[in-house]
C-alpha cells in the first residue's frame, strides 16, 4: 500500500507550499514584517498548521537560509570559468558583492541574523553552509598560492578569513545604511574604490 509514501509526498508538498509563501513574503516585505500569521494566510491555512511542519519560526528561517546558500554557491561557482587564479579571486569578490546587494534580505539571513543560527545551536550541529562557501574561497586562495601570486607558506585559512572579513564588512556597512554618513549618493562608487584598493593590497601584501 502506497499510502504512507503518498502521505510523505503530501507532507513534503505542504512544506514546500509554506516555504514558497515564506520566501515570497520575506523578499517582498522583509523579515521584520513577515509573520507566521501572514504566511498562514497566504497559503490559506491556520497559523497552527505551520507548526505541524516546522518546529518554530527559527527553523523556517533556517530553511530559507539554506536555500539562500544554494543560490549564492551557484553564483560563486561560476567563477571557475576564469582561468587565472588571482583574476578568479577578484571575480569571486565581485560576485559576492553583487549577491549581497541584489539579495539584502537573504544576506542578512545568511550572515547577520542570529535567529536561524539558533536552530543549529539547539541541534548542536555545525554551520555547514557557511563552511562550504568558506571552502570555496579557501580553494581559490590556495590556487593563488600555487600559481605564485601569494607567498608559499601563507596560512590559507587565516588569509581566507581576512579576505572574507573585509568583503563582509564592506557590504554590511553599506547594507545597514552606515555609508550614508558621507551624505552623498556615491556609496556604490566608494565600495568599488575600496575593493580596488583592497585587491592591490592583497596583491602586494601577500606576495612572495
Partner DNA sequence: CAAATATACTGAACAGTGTTTAGTGAAAAC
Partner DNA sequence: GTTTTCACTAAACACTGTTCAGTATATTTG
Q: What are the helix and strand counts (H, E) for the chain?
A: 10, 0
Would you state the cell numbers that stand for residue 105, as one nine-digit string? 534580505
Site string for DNA, 7-36 (x = CB under 7 A): x--xx--x-------------------xxx
The beta strand positions in the chain, using DSSP E, are none
Least separation in angstroms between residue 27's CB and a second copy is 17
Interface region with DNA, contact rule CB under 7 A, candidates 41-49, 120-128, 135-143, 156-164: 41-49
Residues that bind DNA (rule: CB under 7 A) add up to a total of 24
Residues that bind a second copy (CB under 8 A): 111-114, 117, 121, 126-128, 130-131, 134, 155, 157-159, 161-162, 164-170, 172-173, 176-178, 180-183, 190, 193-194, 197-198, 200-206
| Element at 109 (helix H, strand E) | helix 104-111
| Burial of 13 per CB tally in 10 Å (0-12, 13-18, 19+) | exposed
Q: Rounded distance, CA 150 to CA 138, Å? A: 13
Query: Applying CB under 7 A, does 47 fall inside the site for DNA?
Result: yes
**CA–CA distance, 142 with 160 (Å, rounded to integer):** 9
Instruction: Give residues in contact with DNA (CB under 7 A).
Output: 1, 3-4, 6-7, 10-11, 14, 34-38, 44-49, 51-52, 56-58
Amino acid at each position: 500500500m502506497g499510502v504512507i509514501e503518498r502521505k510523505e509526498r503530501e507532507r513534503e508538498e505542504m512544506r514546500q507550499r509554506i516555504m514558497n509563501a515564506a520566501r515570497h513574503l520575506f523578499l517582498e516585505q522583509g523579515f521584520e514584517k513577515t509573520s507566521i500569521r501572514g504566511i498562514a494566510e497566504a497559503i490559506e491555512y491556520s497559523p497552527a498548521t505551520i507548526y505541524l511542519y516546522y518546529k518554530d519560526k527559527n527553523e523556517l528561517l533556517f530553511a530559507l537560509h539554506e536555500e539562500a546558500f544554494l543560490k549564492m554557491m551557484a553564483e560563486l561557482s561560476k567563477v571557475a570559468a576564469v582561468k587565472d587564479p588571482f583574476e578568479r579571486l577578484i571575480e569571486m569578490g565581485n560576485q559576492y558583492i553583487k549577491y549581497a546587494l541584489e539579495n539584502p534580505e537573504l544576506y542578512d539571513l545568511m550572515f547577520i541574523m542570529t535567529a536561524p543560527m539558533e536552530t543549529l545551536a539547539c541541534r548542536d550541529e555545525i554551520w555547514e553552509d557557511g563552511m562550504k562557501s568558506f571552502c570555496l574561497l579557501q580553494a581559490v586562495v590556495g590556487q593563488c598560492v600555487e600559481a605564485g601570486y601569494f607567498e608559499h607558506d601563507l596560512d590559507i585559512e587565516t588569509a581566507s578569513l581576512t579576505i572574507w572579513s573585509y568583503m563582509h564588512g564592506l557590504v554590511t556597512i553599506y547594507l545597514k545604511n552606515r555609508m550614508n554618513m558621507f551624505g552623498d549618493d556615491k556609496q556604490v562608487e566608494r565600495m568599488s574604490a575600496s575593493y580596488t584598493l583592497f585587491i592591490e593590497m592583497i596583491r602586494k601584501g601577500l606576495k612572495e
